[in-house]
């Protein structure tokens, strides 16, 4: 690969990575996500002015209220990804069944996405994001859409925060790119990201403390001794901060949600791939997240993700 001095834009970076890692067409998929992110960022920025806040009045497959921006984000990324010509199957947290593009002879990738993550923060101008897991097209449709995380070839997320940042992970690199809104281009700003060795933060919704198992309560109580609490309530924002500063994010099961809240295919697997490439780990509390064999597209999972020593410590308290 060329040196960082020679590689500046996301497009240039991805051309080089796709070639080096033998993944023809991955650059087109990532560029489609980048174009979608620019469109979504513009919508997020002026959501109140364009009357794109609030609920659509519809309910999604998870029984959750669909926000107007959820619907826009889903449509934007679907359009951009499908015109890339590289998608064989596309699954979305907002859509019941995955789209199959059987006729696309160049379609060699399967993408699972959460088009707008952190929906409860849309109306209050707090950071939200978009998450993508990318697998190779493996064979039949059913096999394509239910591949485990350990078969991921790339993952990405975009955070619409005080700046718009896109993080892209492939088997050998995790890099971040910052959007220049003047020319709608993402520029490389952080190359080969690695988690800091000392975690600074723990992130969990402590409002659910009384619903957790005794062991989970003990594990979180221990974290309070050495770490600061930060919880935005947008997974992408909590994850991104912990990736840069070190720490651990938890969304456990509780007595109302025995499988937790987060979705394996759209949220947990892509972020687990990224954290492992950055030197951390991710667990369901029982097993490595990426070894879970999915049984349905929209299945939920508990998640503990971040610095390996913190994840391992929590998992050992959970299983003692």
The yes or no reply on residue 120 touching ligand AHM (CB under 6 A) is yes
CB of 115 to Mg ion, least distance (A): 9
From the CB of 13, what's the least distance to ligand AHM, in Å?
A: 27
User: Which structure tokens are listed for 146?
Assistant: 């239910």
Q: Are 249 and 269 in contact (CB under 8 A)?
A: no
Q: Does 54 bind ligand AHM (CB under 6 A)?
A: no
What track of x and - describes contact with ligand AHM for positions 218 through 257 (by CB under 6 A)? ---------------xxx---------------x------
Q: Tell me the Cα Rg of the chain.
A: 19
Say whether residue 205 binds ligand AHM (CB under 6 A): yes
Cα within 13 Å of Cα(278), Cβ side: 36
Candidates 44-52, 116-124, 146-154, 163-171; binding stretch for ligand AHM (CB under 6 A): 116-124
Scanning residues 75 to 114, which ones bind ligand AHM (CB under 6 A)? 114
**Of the candidate residues 114, 238, 254, 276, the single one contacting Mg ion (CB under 5 A):** 114
Q: How many residues bind ligand AHM (CB under 6 A)?
A: 12
* Stretch of 35-43, 108-116, 165-173, 210-218 contacting Mg ion, by CB under 5 A: 108-116
Q: What is residue 263's DSSP assignment?
A: B
Write out the two tokens for 79.
């359009």
Distance CA 249, CA 16 (A): 32
Q: Which of 118, 149, 161, 246 binds ligand AHM (CB under 6 A)?
A: 118
Looking at the Cβ atoms of 234 and 269, the one nearer to ligand AHM is 234
Q: Which residues contact 120 (CB under 8 A, 6 or more apart)?
A: 233
Is residue 130 within 8 Å of residue 112, measured between CB atoms?
A: no
Listed in sequence order, the DSSP H helices in 130-268 are 141-145, 214-226, 235-245
In this structure, what are the phi and psi dihedrals at residue 299, rounded to the nearest 5 degrees?
A: -65, 150
Residues numbered 27 to 46 that lie near ligand AHM (CB under 6 A) are: none
Sign for the CA dihedral angle at 298, 67, 111, 79 comes to positive
Residue (31 or 267) nearer to Mg ion, CB: 267
When binding is defined by CB under 5 A, the residue of 78, 117, 144, 276 that contacts Mg ion is 117
- Which residues on adjacent β-strands are paired with residue 178? 165, 187
Give the Å distances, CA to CA, from 207 to 204, 227, 251, 267: 9, 18, 12, 22
| Partner that binds at residue 301, options Mg ion, ligand AHM, none, CB closer than 5 to 8 Å by kind | none
List residues binding Mg ion (CB under 5 A).
114, 117
Binding-site ranges for ligand AHM (CB under 6 A) = 64, 114, 117-120, 205, 233-235, 251, 261
């Amino acid at each position: 690969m060329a040196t960082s001095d020679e590689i500046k834009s996301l497009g240039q970076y991805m051309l080089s990575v796709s070639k080096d890692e033998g993944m023809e067409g991955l650059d087109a998929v990532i560029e489609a996500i980048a174009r979608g992110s620019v469109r979504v960022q513009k919508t997020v920025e002026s959501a109140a002015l364009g009357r794109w806040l609030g609920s659509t009045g519809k309910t999604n497959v998870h029984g959750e209220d669909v926000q107007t921006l959820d619907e826009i984000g889903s449509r934007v990324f679907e359009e951009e990804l499908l015109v890339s010509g590289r998608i064989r199957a596309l699954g979305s947290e907002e859509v019941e069944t995955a789209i199959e593009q059987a006729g696309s002879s160049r379609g060699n990738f399967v993408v699972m996405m959460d088009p707008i993550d952190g929906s409860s923060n849309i109306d209050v101008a707090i950071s939200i994001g978009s998450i993508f897991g990318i697998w190779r097209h493996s064979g039949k449709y059913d096999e394509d859409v239910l591949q485990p995380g350990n078969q991921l070839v790339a993952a990405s997320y975009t955070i619409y925060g005080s700046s718009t940042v896109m993080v892209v992970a492939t088997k050998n690199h995790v890099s971040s790119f910052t959007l220049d809104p003047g020319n709608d281009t993402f520029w490389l700003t952080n190359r080969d990201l690695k988690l800091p060795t000392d975690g600074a933060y723990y992130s969990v919704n402590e409002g659910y403390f009384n619903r957790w198992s005794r062991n989970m309560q003990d594990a979180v109580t221990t974290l309070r001794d050495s770490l600061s609490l930060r919880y935005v309530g947008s997974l992408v924002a909590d994850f991104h901060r912990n990736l840069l500063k070190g720490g651990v994010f938890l969304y456990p099961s509780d007595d109302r949600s025995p499988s937790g809240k987060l979705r394996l295919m759209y949220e947990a697997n892509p972020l687990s791939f990224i954290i492992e490439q950055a030197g951390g780990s991710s667990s369901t509390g029982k097993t490595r997240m990426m070894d879970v064999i999915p049984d349905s597209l929209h299945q939920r999972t508990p998640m503990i993700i971040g610095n390996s020593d913190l994840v391992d410590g929590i998992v050992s308290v959970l299983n003692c």
